[in-house]
Amino acid sequence: MPSLSRETVRAGTRGIVATLLVAALIAIGSRNLAHFDAALVGYTFATLFAVFGITYRYSMWLQRPPTALYWRRGWQAFFSRDRLLTNLAAWPKRVIGVFALNNFIFRRSRPRWAAHWLIMWGCLLAAAITFPLVFGWIHFQTPADDFERYRVYVFGFPTFSFRIESMVGGLIFHGLVWASFLVIAGVMIAMRRRMRDRGAEAVQQFGEDFLPLILLFAVSITGLMLTASYTWMKGYAYDFLAIVHAACVIFTLLWLPFGKFFHIFQRPAQLGVSFYKDAGRAGEQAVCRNCEQPFASMVHVEDLIRVERELGYSYEMQGVGEDAVNHYQYICPRCRRLSMAWAQGRLWQAGRGREVTDRPGIVDVAAIMEAASAPATTTEHA
Amino acid sequence: MSVPGHLNFYIDPARCIGCQACVQACTECDTHKGISMIHLETVDRAHSTQTIPVVCMHCDSPTCAEVCPADAIKRTPDGVVQSARKPRCIACNNCVLACPFGVPKMKVEFELMMKCDMCYDRSSIGLKPMCASVCPSQALFFGTREEIEAARPQSAPIDRFQFGNQTITTKVKMMGPRSVAGARPEHLDVTAALDPNPPGRSISLGVLNGSR
What pLDDT does residue A355 have? 77
Distance CA A198, CA B37 (A): 17
pLDDT class of B201 with cuts at 50, 70, 90:
very low
**Is residue B41 scored above 60 in pLDDT?**
yes
Distance of residue B155 Cα from the nearest chain A Cα, in angstroms: 10
Among A203, A270, A319, select the one facing B91 at the smallest CB separation. A270
Burial of A165 (0-12, 13-18, 19+ CB in 10 A): exposed
Which residue of A lies nearest to B54 if distances are taken between CA atoms? A337
d(CA A32, CA A41): 14
CB–CB of A72/A276 below 8 Å? no
Of A263, A258, A266, the C-alpha closest to A49 is A258
A277 contacts in chain B (CB < 8 Å): 92-93
Q: What percent of chain B has pLDDT over 90?
A: 83
**Distance between CA atoms of B115 and B103, rounded to whole angstroms?**
7
pLDDT of residue A375: 54
**At residue B197, what is the residue type?**
N
Q: Given pLDDT bands bounded at 50, 70 and 90, which one contains residue B36?
A: very high
The whole-number pLDDT of residue A259 equals 87
What mean pLDDT is predicted for residues A120-132? 95
Chain B CA closest to residue A317: B164
Q: Fill in the amino acid letter for B172.
A: V
CA distances (Å), origin B54, targets A219, B23, B39, B166:
46, 10, 5, 20
Predicted confidence (pLDDT) at residue A368 exceeds the cutoff of 70: no
- In this prediction, residues A78-100 reach a mean pLDDT of 95
Summarize the confidence of residues A7-27 as an average pLDDT.
96
Contact A361 B203 (CB under 8 A): no
DSSP B143: E
Span B26-34, average pLDDT = 93
Say whether domain B8-193 belongs to CATH 3.30.70.20: yes
Q: Listing from the earlier edge strand, what are the strands of the sheet with B166-177?
A: B140-143, B8-11, B166-177, B155-163, B188-189
* CA–CA dist A324, A318 (Å, integer): 8
Tell me the CB-side half-sphere exposure of residue A296, using CA atoms within 13 A: 24
Residue A193 pairs in a beta bridge with none
6-35 in B: which are within 8 Å (CB) of A? 12-14, 29-33
Burial label for B1, CB within 10 Å (0-12, 13-18, 19+), is middle
- Give the residue from chain A lying closest to B62, CA to CA: A313
Task: Determine the Cα–Cα distance for residues B202 and A366; give it in Å rounded to an integer.
Answer: 13
What's the whole-number mean pLDDT along residues A14-35? Answer: 93
* Chain B residues with CB-CB distance to A349 below 8 A: 206, 211
Which residues of B are less than 8 Å from A310 in CB distance? Answer: none
pLDDT recorded at residue A374? 61
Q: Give residue-wise pLDDT tens across range A248-274.
A: 999 999 999 988 999 999 999 999 999
Put simply, whether B187 touches A (Cβ < 8 Å) is no
Structure-derived torsion over alpha carbons of residues A252, A245, A139, A118, reported in degrees to the nearest 10 = 60
Cα→Cα distances B139→A88, B26, B129, B211, Å: 51, 15, 13, 18
Say if residue B138's pLDDT is above 80.
yes
Q: What percentage of chain A reaches a pLDDT higher than 70?
A: 92
What average pLDDT score do residues B98-111 get? 96
Instruction: State the average pLDDT over residues A171-199.
Output: 96
Q: What is the DSSP letter of B96?
A: H
CA–CA distance, B190 with B197 (Å, rounded to integer):
16
Q: Assign residue A292 a region (left: φ > 0; alpha: ψ between -120 and 50; beta: otherwise).
A: left
The H-or-E segment that residue A304 falls in is: helix A298-310
Q: What is the mean pLDDT of chain B?
A: 90
Which whole number is the average pLDDT over A353-381? 61
d(Cα B87, Cα A359) in Å, to the nearest integer?
42
Asked if A49 and A254 touch (Cβ cutoff 8 Å), the reply is: yes
- Check residue B93 and give left, alpha or beta (phi > 0: left; psi -120 to 50: alpha): left
Number of Cβ atoms within 10 Å of the Cβ of A271: 19
Q: Cβ distance B116 to B103 under 8 Å?
A: yes
Q: What is the ipTM of this complex?
A: 0.91
**How many residues can be counted in chain A?**
382
- Domain borders along chain A are 6-272, 283-331, 338-382
- B189 contacts on A by Cβ (under 8 Å): 343
Report yes or no: B146 at the A interface, CB cutoff 8 Å. Answer: no
B195 — contact with chain A (CB < 8 Å)?
yes
CA dist., res. B35 & res. B42, Å (int): 20
Q: CA nearest B38 in A: which residue?
A: A337
- The whole-number pLDDT of residue B208 equals 43
**What is the rounded CA–CA span in Å between residue A53 and residue A60?**
11
- The one-character DSSP state at A308 is H
Confidence of residue B206 (pLDDT cuts 50, 70, 90): very low
- Name the least confident of A182-186, A287-291, A297-301, B116-120: A287-291
Instruction: Choose the weakest-confidence range: A111-120, A138-147, B95-104.
Output: A138-147
A315–B165 C-beta distance less than 8 A? yes
Average pLDDT of chain A?
Answer: 91
| pLDDT higher than threshold 50 for residue B33 | yes
